[in-house]
Structure 1
Amino acid sequence: MLRLPTSRDPTSSWRRLAAFLRAVSVVGISLCALTPPAAAGLGAETFTLANGMRVVAVPMERPGVVHHAVYYAFGAADDPSGQSGIAHFIEHLMFNGTGTTTDGQYKQIIGRNGGSTNAYTSADVTAYYATIARDRLETVMRLEADRMTGVVFKPENFEAERQVIIEERLQRTDNSPSGVFREQLTAAAWQAHPYGRPLIGWRHEIEALTMEQVEAYYRRHYGPANALLVVAGDIDAESLRPLAERTFGKVAAGGEPVPPRPKEPPHRARVTVEMEDPRVARPRWSRQYPARSYFSGAAREAATLDVLAAVLGGASGRLHRALVVRHKVALAAGAYFDGGKRDGGFFLVYAMPADGTDVSEVEEAVIAELRRVAEEGVEEREVQRAAYRFAAGEIYARDDVSTVAEFVGSTLIKGGTLQDIDGYIEMVRSISAADVAASARTLLAEQATVTGILRPGDAE
């Protein structure tokens, strides 16, 4: 992804950026009156170990602190058919013991050395990361290299983690009306591609997974050929290389590529997903337009959708001003572009009707605003304001070692380049009002939309 990362769960990077932008508006800075700052290159340095593992050092002025992250080129969308949840299951098991560490010792060692560690599974990527003092970096690298291929699978650990994952699914999805609704919307949006499956897996498939299936996936795909190491902070390639060679360089070459994913067929019909639940307090409406992502199409096309989302969404966006402030038909309204997946994305508009307002009324109001952009265009100052927000956001993000590492790692592992990252802000700044209007027209011409309506229901 060429913008701020959203793949971590929760989306802490966006929340930090949102807080920053709110602070900017509070102190009264007029974004449209400022020239978007230029984006300097990250200055990242790369090299490859003899076993095929790629390594990236991102020097930052953070004396004594580094963020260490290993990215694997597969995620939940690469789970074998009928075995959804494998990638996420392995993420949990990676914190158990190896031939040289006991169960849970990885986190204990990181904690004793003053660091913090975690992991995530997205559709395209599985990642493991830690922030730690520079003089303890080799400790993290040794532990991470050890568990790349050395995790010991034990039946008792496997069953314990299965129960943890099922409970996680209960909390996030099965016991949450909005969680179930999002899962159904996603399944409707992807007919053949595994993006339609939940990241955590379908419950019945999680319950059916065997330790042999999960271990076989781990042994087959975890290895240097599928891995990317990113270290950001008080580091450079010259000092990182010997550490990498002493740790990850000792791991035997390996890691089979995952099989190609099924291709998504053309969509030819509009789909509406409606759901009622007594636990829902207020109705919600959304419409999802299929779109090419930064990695599946032209990057400029995706960047234009990012700008369109900025024009329509947010507290100062057209949807909020029209539906919430002026007409008072909605309590919330906005837009979002999901352009960070490898094989495709979507553009989303949404609204929550105000009391006494029907869902159909907010739907008409949202589409009217999108049509206004398409037919009447937008002012150049709106595009400039969006460009400033993106530029300011990147500068803010580059102040944090973990966000920079995630920015670099999640982009490179999905096929992007450092040049893509360094040139992103200039590309955004080059987008015109005419580009944004054309993008809106393309969305309105799309026939294969997915509309979601979540309503309060009667208690049984």
Structure 2
Amino acid sequence: MKRHLRTFLLLFFSSLSLSLLPPAGAQITAPAPAQEKPQQFTLPNGLTLIVKPDRRAPTAVHMLYVRVGAMDEVDGTTGVAHVLEHMLFKGTKTTKPGEFSRLVAALGGRENAFTTRDVTGYFQQIPANKLEDVIRLEADRFANNQWPDDEFKRELEVVKEERRSRTEDNPRSLLFEQLSAVVYQASPYRRPVVGWMNDLEAMTPQDAREFYRRWYVPGNAAVVVAGDVDPAQVRRLVEKHYGSIPARAVPPRKPREEPQQNGVRRLEFKAPADQSYVALAFKVPQLRTFDKTPENDDALALTVLSAVLDGYDGARLDRALTRGPDRVADSVDAGYGLWGRGPQLFTLSGVPAAGKTPEQVEAALREQVARVAREGVTEAELQRVKTRWIAGEIYKLDSVMGQARELGSAWVMGMPLDSDTRLMARLREVTADQVKSVAARYFGDDQLSVGILRPLPVDPNRKPRQPAAGARH
């Protein structure tokens, strides 16, 4: 629940300035550039390969997705998935700590990695004629990652400093971390991706090594390649470098379903801050397939509701809460996760204006949803958000990295390769009545958790913390 609040919209707008979007009601008539369809293969050892040719520039993206994240940790070792991501840069039998990044840079490329609740990913963007070099490097560290204990201890200090600078020094990040622990009881989404500090303090090199051996197996991973490439050649290269990695069973995952909530949950959180803040989290359905089921239909309607409330400049929340002499908030947000390996939330949040309270912002946010439940939304609003999504579909093709990430994310969720096309088609079908219906059914107290940041005085002499040396992302 970071600034996850516009996640779905950002997926489509990542390569597009809002100023370039057409006005509401405009028709998109220019066809998208011709694109080759992605192809998917499965190696004998269980590794998935997805290839998406895009020959407009002599560049390629290579990504390795491992279907493991913070949700696969156990209590006492929170943060180990993220720590292990850092350790993948610390060497193999044939490469020294830090050498991976130096070699990619020497190829004229850039690289990094990320960890979320659902997945750990590693990526490189390089000239297309250097693709085999990064395939070889990534396959080597996936299969042969190793490092001395002292290297682990040094990198663990980097991660702890990362937690301090990104979470502990940020009162809103702390609020959302605490709120997640209140929202979820059984779901592992209650744990922070970076880990609790006491778990980081107690983490051992063996914790990371065991997590690596357990989850970094071919059947739990996918290689995604996009760019100026030939699928048959990519398949040969991947089979050459990844194919010899021995197959091992993917560990079984037990279901950890969230129990039904009965009544609103509230969190009062105090921290040094300039302004108070309020966040509302509602438990709602998520998209599991593209089949026409009540749950999937509701998930799509919730996506449209999020966009109607806060999908563009001057959307409902902005107009109603942040403008005029009687405005109640300085800023507001709405968002919906749509899909994930764990349960998803619909979130509303805001910063009270001068003289206003978090409770007033909470009431105003809920009133806007209640208004949709009473009065519905207009066809003009629906057309506006749908037009923007279609524009985003066209412009996102400019990003080879974006195409690769979208394919990898779909694989993580068990979705088909053409998820983007199917999603657009299903969103176009959402009606005003469906949006009105979900606004009426999913925003009561029994689905709600509220977090309020109560500001404490800020030390005027405190200096901003410097970014951790060696921190990635």
How far 1:13 sits from its partner (Å)? 9.3
Residue 7 to residue 120, structure 1, CA distance change in 2 (3 Å): farther
2:22 corresponds to 1:23: no
CA contact (8 A) 1:71 1:409 kept: yes
Letter of the 1:95 counterpart: F
How far apart in 2 are the matches of 1:15 and 1:281? 31
User: How far apart, CA to CA, are the structure 2 residues paired with 1:378 and 1:360?
Assistant: 26
Q: Distance in 1 between matches of 2:31 and 2:296?
A: 19
Letter in 1 for 2:288: F
CA distance in 1, matches of 2:9, 2:143: 30
* Residue of structure 2 equivalent to 1:310: 307
Distance 1:75 1:36, change over 3 A: farther
Preserved contact between residue 384 and residue 429 of structure 1 (Cα < 8 Å): no
What is residue 319 of structure 1 aligned with on the other side? 317
Alpha-carbon distance between aligned partners in 2 of 1:293 and 1:434, rounded to the nearest angstrom:
19
Cα separation, 2, equivalents of 1:239 and 1:218 = 29
SS at match of 2:225: strand
1:3 aligns with: none
Separation in structure 2 between the aligned mates of residue 36 and residue 431 of structure 1, nearest angstrom:
21
Q: Which runs of 5+ in 2 are unaligned?
A: 460-473
Name the amino acid aligned to 1:168: E
State the partner residue of 2:49.
55
CA distance in structure 1 between the partners assigned to 2:28 and 2:395 by the alignment? 16
- The equivalent of 2:414 in structure 1 is 415
1:47 Cα deviation (Å)? 1.0
SS in structure 2 at match of 1:282: coil
Q: Give the Cα–Cα distance (whole angstroms) in 2 for the partners of residues 320 and 47 of structure 1.
A: 46
> Partner of 1:447 in structure 2?
446
Amino acid paired to 2:433: A
SS at match of 1:447: helix
Closer, same or farther: CA 77–7 of 1 in aligned 2, 3 Å? farther
TM alignment of 1:116-127, pairs within 5 A: 116-127=110-121
Question: TM-score by structure 2 length?
Answer: 0.89
- Conservation of the 8 A alpha-carbon contact between 2:184 and 2:258: yes
- Cα offset, 1:215, TM superposition: 0.6
2:135 is paired with a residue whose SS is helix
- Cα deviation, residue 129, structure 1: 0.5
After superposition, what is the alpha-carbon deviation per residue over 1:3-40, rounded to whole angstroms, capped at 9, x for unaligned? xxx999x9899399278342126xxx422233588888
SS of the aligned residue for 1:250 comes to coil
1:206-260 deviation line (CA, Å, top 9, x unaligned): 1112212221121122121111011011123222111111111121212533532
Matched residue, 1:282: 275
In the aligned structure 1, how far is the partner of 2:35 from the partner of 2:345? 28
RMSD between aligned alpha carbons? 2.5
Residues of 1 paired with 2:147 and 2:183: CA distance? 36
Match of 2:10 in 1: 14
Distance 1:357 1:42, change over 3 A: farther
Question: What is the distance in 2 between the residues matched to 1:111 and 1:348?
Answer: 40
Conserved? CA contact 1:311–1:382, under 8 Å: yes
Secondary structure, aligned partner of 2:439: helix
Q: CA deviation at 1:100?
A: 1.2
Q: Give distance in 2, aligned partners of 1:126 and 1:264.
A: 23
Deviates more, 1:370-379 or 1:329-338: 329-338
CA contact (8 A) 1:226 1:257 kept: no
Counterpart residue identity of residue 289, structure 1:
F
SS at match of 2:322: helix
1:254 corresponds to 2:241 = no
Call closer, same or farther: CA 1:183–1:412 in 2, change over 3 Å. same
After alignment, is 344-353 or 137-146 more displaced?
A: 344-353
The answer on whether the counterparts of 2:15 and 2:396 sit within 8 Å (CA) in structure 1 is no
1:385 CA displacement: 0.9
Contact 2:284 2:447 in 1 (8 A): no
The aligned residue for residue 426 of structure 2 is 427
Using the TM superposition, give the Cα deviation of residue 92 of structure 1 relative to its aligned residue in structure 2, in angstroms.
0.5
TM-score by length of 1: 0.92
CA contact (8 A) 2:8 2:338 kept: no
Could you tell me which amino acid in structure 1 is paired with residue 438 of structure 2? Answer: S
Distance (Å, rounded) in 2 between the aligned partners of 1:201 and 1:59: 38
Match for residue 78 of structure 2?
84
| 2:298 aligned partner | 301
Shift of 1:85: 1.1
The residue number in structure 1 matching 2:65 is 71
Q: Deviations over 1:361-411 (max 9, x none)?
A: 222222221111011111111111111122222222221011111111011
Equivalent residues of 2:12, 2:393 under 8 A apart: no
Distance 2:142 2:15 in 1: 36
Corresponding residue SS for 1:287 = strand
Per the alignment, do residues 254 and 192 of structure 1 end up closer, same or farther by CA in structure 2, a change over 3 Å counting? same
2:288 matched to 1:292? no
SS of corresponding position for 1:369: helix
**Which stretch has the larger CA shift, 84-93 or 318-327?**
318-327
Deviates most, 380-389 or 437-446: 437-446
Task: Give me the whole-angstrom Cα distance separating, in 2, the residues matched to 1:157 and 1:71.
Answer: 24
| Paired AA for residue 10 in structure 2 | W
CA contact (8 A) 1:283 1:359 kept: yes
**Deviation string, structure 1 residues 137-196 (Cα, Å, up to 9, x no partner):** 000000111111201131111101110110000111122211211110111111111100
Pairing 1:140–2:134 present? yes
Structure 2 counterpart of 1:360? 359
Verify the 8 A CA contact 2:63 2:121 in the aligned structure 1. yes
* Structure 2 Cα separation of the partners of residues 317 and 421 of structure 1: 24
CA distance in 2, matches of 1:317, 1:309: 10
Cα 1:255/1:31, change in 2 over 3 Å: farther
1:130 pairs, out of 124, 130, 148, with 124
**Aligned-partner residue type, residue 320 of structure 1:** D
State the match for 1:97 in structure 2.
91
Higher mean alpha-carbon deviation, 373-382 vs 79-88, is at 79-88
- Find the aligned partners of 2:45 and 2:14 in 1 and give their Cα distance: 41
Equivalent residue of 1:264, what SS? coil
What is the aligned-residue identity percentage?
A: 33
Aligned equivalent of 1:240, options 234, 238, 258 = 234
Matched residue SS, 1:188: helix
